[in-house]
Amino acid sequence: MGARKRDACARPAAGNPMTPLIKILSTDFDGTLHSEHEDPPVPVHLQKLIARLQARGVKWVINTGRDLSALMEGIARAELSILPDYVVVVEREIYRHHESRFIADEDWNGRCTKEHATLFASIRADLPGLIDWVEKRFIATVYSDPYSPFCLIAGHNHDADAILAHLETYSQGVPNLTVVRNDVYARFSHRAYNKGTALAEISRQLDVGPEHILAAGDHFNDLPMLSREHAHRLVAPANAVPAVKEVVRKLGGFVSDLPWGHGVARGLESLLAGESD
């Protein structure tokens, strides 16, 4: 792919001196930064670009639906030459990189865990009926895990659409309940905790406004951070689902004609090109 041969300098060209520099870069992992179909899974060119941004003081956040152990495995298998400054895992928990470890944000994660437990306790009696509704109509896997009492793997996207419509209707009657979806996967979650609000908490701690934040994502669960409330610069790779591309275009972001990390690199270069150092 042609993007692999490009290694343009990440240092932005001089432009409008009033244009703010990027101070936080928030990227989804699977399908945005990383692709199992590529070798290496994260393009070397993108790794170099992010490394140069980090050298300028930019804080890099990997914002993912994976849990921490799965993300660490993915990073190790990809043999990344760089590490994020922060990670957001299961679309809500925050960890900060310090020396050789990722340290939990105890205040945020503690509130997150407590509020999810309270919410999920309120719907416990409804779960058998919801599971029964799904299993009678679709070939799908419904299960619980440490992060949600209702997790779903649909047989294909058409079924996922129908199931999600039903779950969203149910959720409208439960304060703070929402459904988080990525492809054929979905789970119940607390509306106040998502990729967008976790990014906002990191930016609050770093005292960085959304005008200094760039976010990149490819799927439904990235939509909460692909918002001008949380980031004024947005990127979607070519493989992003249509709903993500539509939002990014509508908000004046960059939709690449290249997939995965190649598209993110192209978007970073395009959006940074007019900024002063």
Rounded to whole angstroms, the Cα distance separating 84 from 102 reads 10
- Strands 213-216 and 233-236, by their bridges, are parallel
Segments making up each domain of the chain, as ranges:
21-91+194-272, 109-183
CB atoms within 10 A of CB 92: 24
pLDDT string in tens for the chain (277-residue length)? 333 333 333 333 333 433 458 999 999 999 999 999 999 999 999 999 999 999 999 999 999 999 999 999 999 999 999 999 999 999 999 999 999 899 999 999 999 999 999 999 999 999 999 999 999 999 999 999 999 999 999 999 999 999 999 999 999 999 999 999 999 999 999 999 999 999 999 999 999 999 999 999 999 999 999 999 999 999 999 999 999 999 999 999 999 999 999 999 999 999 878 664 4
In one-letter notation, the amino acid at residue 211 is E
Give the tens place of pLDDT for each residue, 19-67. Answer: 458 999 999 999 999 999 999 999 999 999 999 999 999 999 999 999 9
103 φ/ψ angles, rounded to the nearest 5 degrees? -100, 130
Q: Which CATH number fits domain 109-183: 2.30.30, 3.90.550, 3.30.70, 1.10.260?
A: 3.30.70
The Cα–Cα gap between 60 and 41 comes to 18
Q: CA–CA separation, 106 vs 94, rounded Å?
A: 9
Enter the pTM of the model: 0.90
Residues contacting 217, CB < 8 A, separation 6+: 27, 28, 32, 63, 195, 223, 225, 226, 236, 240, 244
The burial class, CB within 10 Å (0-12 / 13-18 / 19+), for 179 is buried
**Helix/strand/coil for 252:** coil
Q: What does 5-51 look like in DSSP terms, one character per residue? A: G-----SPPP-BTTSPPP-EEEE-SBTTTB-TTSSSSS-HHHHHHHH
Contacts of 15 by beta carbon, 8 Å cutoff, 6+ apart: 273, 274, 275, 276
How many beta carbons lie within 10 A of that of residue 180, not counting itself? 25
CA distance 2 to 141: 40
Is 128 strand, coil or helix?
A: helix
Question: Cis omega (within 30 of 0) on the bond before 40?
Answer: yes
May I ask the CATH class of domain 21-91+194-272? Answer: alpha beta
